[in-house]
Structure 1
Amino acid sequence: MRESAAERHDRLLALVRERGTARVSDLAGLLGVSPVTARRDVEALAARGLLDRVHGQVSWPRAQGAPGGVAGSGSGLVLGLLAPSATYYFAEVIRGAHEAAARAGARLILRISDYRPEEDRARTEGLLAAGAEGVLVAPGWRGPEDRLAYGDWLAELPVPAVLLERRAAPGTPLDGLDRVSSDHAHGVLLALRHLLELGHATPLLVARSDSPTALAVRAGYTEALGTLGLEAPRTVIDSVPAETDPEGFERAVRALHEAVASGRASAALVHNDVDAIQIVQRLAELGVRVPEDLALIAYDDEVAALADTPLTAVAPPKRRVGRHATELLVERLGAGSGGDEDEAARRHLSLLPRLRVRDSCGASRTTTA
C-alpha cells in the first residue's frame, strides 16, 4: 500500500525528534524519497510549527521541549488527541479539548481514526512523533470485541494518557488509566423517567449497536427499567442507518409503527438524533403523529432541535468531556514533572447528561439534569 503524506510526515517527525537536528538531504535518504519531496515535507511541517528549519537543516522546536521531555507548568505543552471522527458527536468533544488546551497555553494536535481501531496505535504513535507529551485517546472501538483486540497497548504508552468517552473492562490494564466519559445510563434514566411522569407506560428503545455510546444506551435501558421498578425489558428495536441499510431501517420503523398501532407503546427513546428525525418522517407517512400518537425522545442532541417537530433529547456533556479530559491531562503532566506524591492517583470521571425538553414528547419546554 502506498504511504500517505501524513504517514510520511509522522516518520519524518520521528526521525527529527530522535536526532534533535538533521539535514534535509539526510532525511530524504532515510525516508526513501527525493530531496524535493523531503524539502516540501519539511516546509509544510515547519509552517505548522512542528519543526524549526535553518540553512538546509531542521531541528526539533525548542518550544516543544527536548525529545521525551515533559514541561512542568503546562505552558508550551503539546497535547495529542485521537478521535474516531471529527464530525457529529466528537466535533463538540474536540472543541472542548481545544478550548481547554488554549487556556492552558498548550497546543493540541489531532489524528482521526475513522472508526478503524486497528489503526489507533499507529495514529497515536504519530501524535507522539509530532511532539505530543501526553495524549487524549478515544479509540475507534465499535463493540466489546474491538476493546479486547485493540485496547491493551494504551496502557503501555510512554506518556500520560486519558481515555476519552470510552470505558475499560474492570480489572484490565486499561482500567488503570485516567478517563473522562458521559454517564449514558443516567441519560437514559432521565428520558424514561420523564416519559413515565407524562403518563406513558414502559417506553420502547430504538437503538443502534455499532458504537460504545449505542451499547451504553442499551445497557442503560435495562438498568433504568430495573431502577424504575418496571417489567422485564421489552425487546429493543434494532436501528440502522437509513442510507447504508434502507431495508433494515424500514424494519425498525415498521416494528415501532406496529407497537404504536396495536396500543402496546405510546413512547420511545431513539438513539441517535439522525435516526430519530428520519423515523419521525417515515412514521408520519404511515399515519403516526409525534407527539400526538407517540411521545419521542432522541439521544445525542446534535441536530434534534432542527427537526420539523423539535425533538426532546438527552444531551451528553460532550464539550465538557473534552475540557475536563484536557485539564486532567495537563494536571497529570505538571504533577509528573514536579514529583507530586499524588501523581499515581488515577481518576475515573463521569459527567451527567441533561434532558432538553422540546415538542416531541408533548410536554412544555425545559431542561433537566
Structure 2
Amino acid sequence: MRESAAERHKRLLELVRKRGSARVSDLAGLLGVSPVTVRRDVEALAGEGRLDRVHGSVSWPQGRGQGWEPWRGQAPGQGGAERRAGGGELVLGLLAPSATYYFAEVIRGAHEAAAQAGARLVLRISDYRPEEDRSRAEGLLAAGAEGLLIAPGWRGPKDPAEHGDWLTELPVPTVLLERGAAPGSALDGLDRVVSDHRHGVLLAVRHLVGLGHGAPLLVARADSPTALAVRSGYVDALDALGLRAPREAIDSVSAEQRPEDFEAAVRALHTAVASGQATAAVVHNDVDAIQMVQRLAELGVRVPQDLALIAYDDEVAALADTPLTAVAPPKRAVGRQAARLLVERLTAGPDADEPRRHLSLLPRLRVRASCGADQRTP
C-alpha cells in the first residue's frame, strides 16, 4: 500500500527528532523518496512550526522537548499563514528578465501582494540571458526563497525547449509569469499567470476597423515572448474579423541598437501609407511607436490625419507629442495574482491537493489622440 503524506511526515519528524538535525539529501535516502518530495514535506512542516529550516537542512525546533508536538490543539484545516506566525517570515523569490519597462510593473504588483501577505520578496534579474536563468533561480533558493515566481529570459520561440526543462525540476512551488508553454509539455503543467496578448491585439484591430479603416498594418519586434504573442495575436484577430493583412508584418527593432534597420521599418511604413496600402497600424512597442511617429512626421506622414496608430504596452504612450492610443496589458495585476497564488500554495496544509492553475488576464485599450477617434466619432 502506498504511504500517505501524513505517514511520511511522521517518519520524517521522528528522524529529525532523534538526530536533532539532518540534511534534506540524507532524509531522502533514509525515507526512500526523492529529494523533491522531501523538500516539499520540509516546506510544509516548517510552515507549521514543526521543524526549523535553513537551506539544505532541517532541525528540531529549539527549546522544545522530545515529546513536543506543535500540531496538538490546532483546529483541522488551520492555514499555514496562521501557523507560520511564530515560525519566521515567508520568503518568495522572483526571477525577471528586467527590472525596467514592462517588468517594472509586474515586479511592483508581486511586491505589493507579498507585503500584504506578510512575506518578503527577493529579486534577481537575468537580463534576458535564458542560459543563466537556472543558476539565478538556484541563487534565490540559496537566499532562502521557499517558492519562486519566474519569468524566464526567453527571447525566441526555441528558448522554452532549450532552456526550460529545469523549471519542472525545482523543489519548491513555482509560478510562471508572462510566459506560456507548448500544450502537453512538462512546462504546461506548472502554475502560470499571463496577459492575454491575443485579446489585446484583437481590441486594437477591432477599434481601428470600427473607426472606418481597413485591416491595419502590424509593425512589431520579434525578440521577446510578448512580441511573438502580439504577432500571432494579429493573425488571429484578422481571422476572427474576416480581414486580410494589407501586407506582411513590418519587422521593428531598437532605433538605438540597430538604427539602419529601424529606418528601414519606418520607410516601409511610410511607403504603405503613401501608396494607400494602409491607413492604420498597430505598433509594438511604445518606444518604437513614439520614435516612428516622430520620423514619419519628418517624412510628411501625420498621425492621426494620415495614419491612425495604436501602440502596444502602454508604458510611455501617453507621453508622446500626440498621445498614443495603446493596449495596456495588466502587468501589475499579473504580478499580484502570481504572488497570491504562490503564497496560497506555500501556506496550504500538507494534505492540500489543489489543481494547477493557468490564469489569463485581459488587457485594456486606452483611447487617446493617435487613433483619430475624436475625428471619426460623434
Work out whether the TM-score is over 0.5.
Answer: yes
Deviation, 1:340, is 1.6
Which residue does the alignment assign to 2:301? 288
Give the whole-Å Cα distance in 2 for the aligned partners of 1:72 and 1:83.
Answer: 27
Task: Give TM-score, length-normalised by structure 2.
Answer: 0.77
Give the whole-Å Cα distance in 1 for the aligned partners of 2:254 and 2:366.
Answer: 24
Task: Determine which of 341, 357, 361 is the counterpart of 1:328.
Answer: 341
Letter in 1 for 2:198: A
Give the whole-Å Cα distance in 1 for the aligned partners of 2:54 and 2:305.
Answer: 63
Percent identity for Structure 1 against Structure 2: 76
- Cα deviations by residue, 1:106-138 (Å, 9 ceiling, x for unpaired): 000000000000000000000000000000000
Give the whole-Å Cα distance in 2 for the aligned partners of 1:315 and 1:214.
Answer: 14
Query: Per the alignment, in what secondary structure is the counterpart of residue 371 of structure 2?
Result: coil
Which residue does the alignment assign to 2:272? 259
Which residue does the alignment assign to 2:311? 298
Which residue does the alignment assign to 1:12? none
Deviation, 1:19, is 7.8
**Could you tell me whether the CA contact under 8 Å between 1:357 and 1:364 is conserved in 2?**
no
Deviation, 1:169, is 1.1
Deviation, 1:348, is 0.4
Task: Determine which of 52, 72, 80 is the counterpart of 2:80.
Answer: 72
Give the whole-Å Cα distance in 1 for the aligned partners of 2:90 and 2:107.
Answer: 17
Task: Determine which of 351, 361, 373 is the counterpart of 1:339.
Answer: 351
- Cα deviations by residue, 1:36-66 (Å, 9 ceiling, x for unpaired): xxxxxxxxxxxxxxxxxxxxxxxxxx9x951
Runs of 4+ in 1 over 6 A off after TM superposition: 17-20
**Could you tell me whether the CA contact under 8 Å between 2:192 and 2:357 is conserved in 1?**
yes
**Could you tell me whether the CA contact under 8 Å between 1:207 and 1:270 is conserved in 2?**
yes
Deviation, 1:350, is 0.3
Give the whole-Å Cα distance in 2 for the aligned partners of 1:121 and 1:114.
Answer: 13
Deviation, 1:232, is 5.3
Residue correspondence of structure 1 range 86-235 to structure 2 within 5 A? 86-231=99-244, 234-235=247-248
Task: Evaluate the alpha carbon distance shift between residue 245 and residue 341 of structure 1 in structure 2; reply closer, same or farther with a 3 A threshold.
Answer: closer
Query: Per the alignment, in what secondary structure is the counterpart of residue 360 of structure 1?
Result: helix
Task: Determine which of 357, 366, 369 is the counterpart of 1:359.
Answer: 369
Query: Per the alignment, in what secondary structure is the counterpart of residue 54 of structure 2?
Result: coil
**Could you tell me whether the CA contact under 8 Å between 2:246 and 2:278 is conserved in 1?**
no
**Could you tell me whether the CA contact under 8 Å between 1:113 and 1:119 is conserved in 2?**
yes
User: For the aligned residues, what is the CA RMSD?
Assistant: 2.0
**Could you tell me whether the CA contact under 8 Å between 1:18 and 1:67 is conserved in 2?**
no
**Could you tell me whether the CA contact under 8 Å between 2:219 and 2:284 is conserved in 1?**
yes
**Could you tell me whether the CA contact under 8 Å between 1:182 and 1:352 is conserved in 2?**
yes
Query: Per the alignment, in what secondary structure is the counterpart of residue 180 of structure 1?
Result: strand
Letter in 1 for 2:368: R
- Cα deviations by residue, 1:277-320 (Å, 9 ceiling, x for unpaired): 00000000000000000000000000000000000000000000
Give the whole-Å Cα distance in 2 for the aligned partners of 1:95 and 1:18.
Answer: 37
Give the whole-Å Cα distance in 2 for the aligned partners of 1:234 and 1:186.
Answer: 22
**Could you tell me whether the CA contact under 8 Å between 2:296 and 2:302 is conserved in 1?**
yes
Which residue does the alignment assign to 2:326? 313
Task: Evaluate the alpha carbon distance shift between residue 65 and residue 280 of structure 1 in structure 2; reply closer, same or farther with a 3 A threshold.
Answer: farther
**Could you tell me whether the CA contact under 8 Å between 1:89 and 1:302 is conserved in 2?**
yes
- Cα deviations by residue, 1:240-266 (Å, 9 ceiling, x for unpaired): 000011110001000000000001100
**Could you tell me whether the CA contact under 8 Å between 2:218 and 2:249 is conserved in 1?**
yes
**Could you tell me whether the CA contact under 8 Å between 1:222 and 1:233 is conserved in 2?**
no
Task: Evaluate the alpha carbon distance shift between residue 233 and residue 222 of structure 1 in structure 2; reply closer, same or farther with a 3 A threshold.
Answer: farther
**Could you tell me whether the CA contact under 8 Å between 1:164 and 1:180 is conserved in 2?**
yes
Aligned residues: 303
**Could you tell me whether the CA contact under 8 Å between 1:269 and 1:297 is conserved in 2?**
yes
Give the whole-Å Cα distance in 1 for the aligned partners of 2:191 and 2:364.
Answer: 23
- Cα deviations by residue, 1:150-169 (Å, 9 ceiling, x for unpaired): 00000010000000000011
Q: Which has the larger radius of gyration?
A: 2
Task: Give TM-score, length-normalised by structure 1.
Answer: 0.79
Which residue does the alignment assign to 2:62? none
Give the whole-Å Cα distance in 1 for the aligned partners of 2:224 and 2:245.
Answer: 24
Task: Evaluate the alpha carbon distance shift between residue 65 and residue 283 of structure 1 in structure 2; reply closer, same or farther with a 3 A threshold.
Answer: farther
Q: Which runs of 5+ in 2 are unaligned?
A: 1-20, 25-48, 59-78
Deviation, 1:356, is 0.2
